[in-house]
Structure 1
């Protein structure tokens, strides 16, 4: 993601310092690096295609929230297909060899897609926050059209953030950097505009929203736990006496209903010649009563065991929610924060520079987020797991 002034940064080289015989054969370290980056690009393509296909062919996943996940996967797929391969060639040759037009197109796609991927994460955080804090009202507003509008806004903001760097580069024609595909500028205001819009504001929004989501989920679990505890307390203190019959076997007034020896349909369709004696009727009614009592006792025992396990279940769900949010935020911060911190430091400090290797590493660490996104946002969803399993099973028969 080549946002800013990289005069001492990634992919910088002096073509005169390399002899033709040296560039003809790549060193083993460069070959290993190329293979590693190619594997990352292939895996990113595969997993994002898997997410898109699962949402497209699985009816159960046709939900507005998953449309945002699908749009994120499409954005990350564009990074894998249109950005990573050119970056690999750039690193391999240590100079730009594909012309000015391709450089401009690559830079525009690079900046726009990476920015759009980051803004998608913020949009998903907003959607999840509204869904958990205003579930009833937001469920009516959470439509496919609304999700499409959110995606359109994300792409529009990404273009507005990425367009100024491209326009600035268009007017920066410097012969010294003819073998580089970079954006050159010397204004701190431009750095602040780009970094704040592309990363720091979305990061702050994600941190605040996911913290509120965690607190709201924690409050919800606490309420459910208190409700279960109060019901269990009433039953153990004797103030709530369970009925001898299932809820469906009671009358309209809520009281227990005495068992009928024979149900009305059996009475109406029974013939006089085959009608049972009173003693047999009593025996049948006793069996029906005992079977209903056993069923209700098993249900009551199951409900009581669930009440005993209530705090444990709530605690496990809370830990799972916390771990999921931690993975989402942690992966995003680890992948993109070093790159944007470096950009701010390099472009605001005249004597601060980074090596070519470090700049390449930080750039690809940001690209790695496009591989992690489809894993984190789907691996904890049972519907996605089942859809992936079906797709993988079907692929064995092809």
Structure 2
């Protein structure tokens, strides 16, 4: 039997018809994702904030990204969880707009940070002698400012000015809109704009830059092997190339696997007359959220000194006197 989110049946959204066991399983899974996102990103934030050795331009960029991912897990995911499981929205229309805007802003901010981190890594690997001159604290500050301001202006401007409905108002209010719901709706124009701004442009930058890094790293490894001789070629070159391929494959692969399905469906949905089921859209949104869950693992815990920082945090050693001066790595190998 159908149940509704509002007492006026004709204009009310239909509530979830899942059994209590299914709903309990979904809540458990989503709570696990939220807690993992919060804990992982909080550890990154504490590590970079506490240990002075980690106060580098690159790490402040990672710190800012972890903050965006943490806020996504704290401010957005819990409400999205209720909406996804119950198929209803119980927090009012105004908060729906705030939640949707914050969701788009923080997700886009996380993706923007990934793009800027790729640019930072490009100069570190491909132009190491001039890296410190080109990637200064001021440059990092500009990157962080752009990563927060552009998504904020885009998200809150689009939702509160209702530009996402532009050109499809009749379709939305006739076929999509219902009381007790909080779905993200895009017209053809706004959908393409959101796709380009939040995914295609930063994603293309990241993909191109990391591809360039990989091929340059391969060339550097071959040059080193030519100098050290044929005997060491198989060992040194193959190890470096495998490591580069593995690192870049994880970085690009996690990003594409998490976000590509959602953005492709989002941009295609208006052209398919909104035929994609809401349940599938919800599932793809959570797939995108997983990128914020995995970011700490890919960009932080991948490095040995972050694992040392994690151990100190879990053991409570950061509360010891002068623990912020603890050396997590040799200065010659940052």
Range class of TM-score, shorter chain: 0.7 to 0.9
* Matched pairs, number: 303
8 Å contact from structure 2 (residues 225, 236) kept in 1:
no
Which of 34, 54, 61 does residue 41 from structure 1 map onto? 34
- Alpha-carbon distance in 1 for matches of 2:233, 2:300: 27
- Alpha-carbon distance in 1 for matches of 2:200, 2:50: 36
Which of 258, 261, 266 does residue 338 from structure 1 map onto? 261
C-alpha displacement at 1:147, in angstroms?
A: 1.1
SS class of match (1:380): coil
Range moving further from structure 2, 52-61 or 79-88 = 52-61
* Counterpart in the other structure of 1:295: none
- Alpha-carbon distance in 2 for matches of 1:23, 1:121: 35
* Counterpart in the other structure of 1:113: 106
Change (3 A) 1:316 1:197: same
8 Å contact from structure 1 (residues 169, 184) kept in 2:
no
* Counterpart in the other structure of 2:246: 323
Which of 281, 287, 291 does residue 365 from structure 1 map onto? 287
CA displacement, residues 303-323 of structure 1 (integer Å, 9 cap, x when unaligned):
xxxxx5464033212201110
* Counterpart in the other structure of 1:301: none
User: What is the correspondence of 1:225-244 to structure 2 with a 5 Å cutoff?
Assistant: 225-229=225-229
8 Å contact from structure 1 (residues 60, 383) kept in 2:
no
- Alpha-carbon distance in 1 for matches of 2:216, 2:144: 26
TM-score (norm 1): 0.70
SS class of match (1:98): coil
- Alpha-carbon distance in 1 for matches of 2:318, 2:121: 35
C-alpha displacement at 1:25, in angstroms?
A: 10
- Structure 1's unaligned 5+ residue stretches are 1-12, 231-307
C-alpha displacement at 1:184, in angstroms?
A: 3.8
Runs of 4+ in 1 over 6 A off after TM superposition: 22-25, 170-173, 395-398
Change (3 A) 1:57 1:397: closer
* Counterpart in the other structure of 2:134: 141
C-alpha displacement at 1:93, in angstroms?
A: 2.8
C-alpha displacement at 1:185, in angstroms?
A: 4.6
* Counterpart in the other structure of 1:200: 200
- Alpha-carbon distance in 1 for matches of 2:193, 2:16: 39
Q: Looking at both structures, which has the greater relative contact order when contacts are Cα pairs under 8 Å and sequence separation is at least 6?
A: 1
1:379 to 2:304 alignment: no
Q: What is the RMSD computed on CA atoms of the aligned residues?
A: 2.6
* Counterpart in the other structure of 1:394: 316
Larger radius of gyration: 1
Which of 220, 233, 236 does residue 313 from structure 1 map onto? 236
- Structure 2's unaligned 5+ residue stretches are 321-334
TM-score (norm 2): 0.83
User: What is the correspondence of 1:125-204 to structure 2 with a 5 Å cutoff?
Assistant: 125-169=118-162, 174=173, 176-186=177-187, 188-204=188-204
C-alpha displacement at 1:218, in angstroms?
A: 0.8
- Alpha-carbon distance in 2 for matches of 1:333, 1:23: 30
* Counterpart in the other structure of 2:72: 79
